Amino acid sequence: MSLTKLLVPTYTQMLKALSGWLEKAQEQLPEAEVASLLSARLAPDMFPLPTQIRFACVQAQEAVYRLQGEAFPASISALVDEGRNGGEKPGTFADAKARIEQTITLLKGLASDALDKDPNEPIAHELPNGMVLDLTAEQYARDWTLGQFYFHLMAAYAILRSKGVELGKADYIPHMFPYIRPDTIPNG
C-alpha cells in the first residue's frame, strides 16, 4: 500500500470524526459546559482538549511536508505554538474546527501519489527535546505519525467522553457505514 493511500484517507476520516465530536459536544451540553471543555484535560500533566486537537492536526500536516521532502511552512510552527499554549489561550470551538478544516483542505489538495516516496528513504525526525529518531519513510508513517495522530485524537475523544459528551463507537468510525451490508443491519 502506498503511504498516500494509507495516510490521507486515515487522517481525513478521523479529522472529520473529530469535528463531529465537537459538534455533538456543542449540541449536547449547556453553553457554560462547552466553554469549560476548552480547559479540560485527562490528567493534570496532560495537555487540554484544544492542544490535543491542534496536535492531531500538526501530525497530519507534518507528515504531508516531511514525506514530500519539503520544509515545514510557518503555519505548522504557529499551530504547534497554539497547541503548547492551549491551556492559557484555548481559543474557541470555532478555532478548533477551523484548524481541522484547514488540515482536511491540505489533505484534499494532494496528488494521489504525493507521499509515495521510497519506503526505505531515511528520515531523521527531531523531537522538541533534541532527540533524533532515525527512521525510514515507512517506519515514520507507521510507527510515528499514525501513532502520534491517534494518541492526540483519542485523548480528545476521552476528554469529551469524561466531560459527559455522549459519544460511542459509531461516532468514532462513521466512515465505515458505507461498508455495512444492508441486509445485516439489526432491526430496532
Q: Is CATH 3.40.1130.10 what the domain over 3-184 is classified as, yes or no?
A: no
pTM (predicted TM-score): 0.93
DSSP string, 66-133: HHTT-PPPHHHHHHHHHHHTTTT----HHHHHHHHHHHHHHHHTS-TTTT---TT-EEEEE-TTS-EE
Give just the sign of the alpha carbon dihedral 128, 82, 17, 72. Answer: negative
The pLDDT score that the predictor gives to residue 117 is: 84
In this predicted model, what pLDDT tens digit does every residue of 19-78 receive, in sequence order?
999 999 999 999 989 989 999 999 999 999 999 999 999 999 999 999 999 999 999 999
In this predicted model, what pLDDT tens digit does every residue of 118-170 receive, in sequence order?
999 999 999 889 999 999 999 999 999 999 999 999 999 999 999 999 999 99
Residue 187: CB atoms within 10 Å: 3
Please give the Cα distance from 48 to 13 (Å, whole number).
23
- Phi/psi for 167 (5° steps) reads -125, 150
